[in-house]
Amino acid sequence: MDDTRQPSEPGPDPAESTPSLGLSPRETEQASLKLLRDHVAKAVEEIVRLRAQNRSLVRRLAESEASGGISTGVFEEGTDIHELKAKISSFITSIDSYLAETEDG
């Protein structure tokens, strides 16, 4: 084995590879940091918005359940799964036929 190998050189500094547009390294670093802060702030705003939306949806779901507007199951009791599949298949065939007709003319 050859022990004369040199340790690998470190890669380029990302700050050096970023176009500085005439900015000093310090200014480039500050601009990058500001950009990062802006992205984080936007992400935080989106998280806050989504949490508020989630609270609203949970409240609406609870209200709907309380008023009996939501079935406790996906299908009504006694639903024949084979009959349901046949109906769905029929709907799909009808939609496909309609789409084919509208595409042709």
**Domain extents in the chain:** 22-69+80-104
Cα(25)–Cα(6) distance, integer angstroms: 29
Q: How confident is the model over 49-68, as pLDDT tens digits?
A: 999 999 998 888 888 777 77
Residue 32 has a pLDDT of 93
Identify the pLDDT of residue 50: 94
Query: pTM for the full model?
Result: 0.43
For the chain, the helix, strand and coil percentages under 3-state DSSP, each to the nearest 5: 65, 0, 35
Say what the alpha-carbon torsion angle 64, 65, 70, 73 is, to the nearest 10 degrees: 160
For 8, the 3-state DSSP assignment is: coil
Tell me, what's the pLDDT at 5? 42
Q: What is the pLDDT of residues 25-42, one digit of tens each?
A: 899 999 999 999 999 999
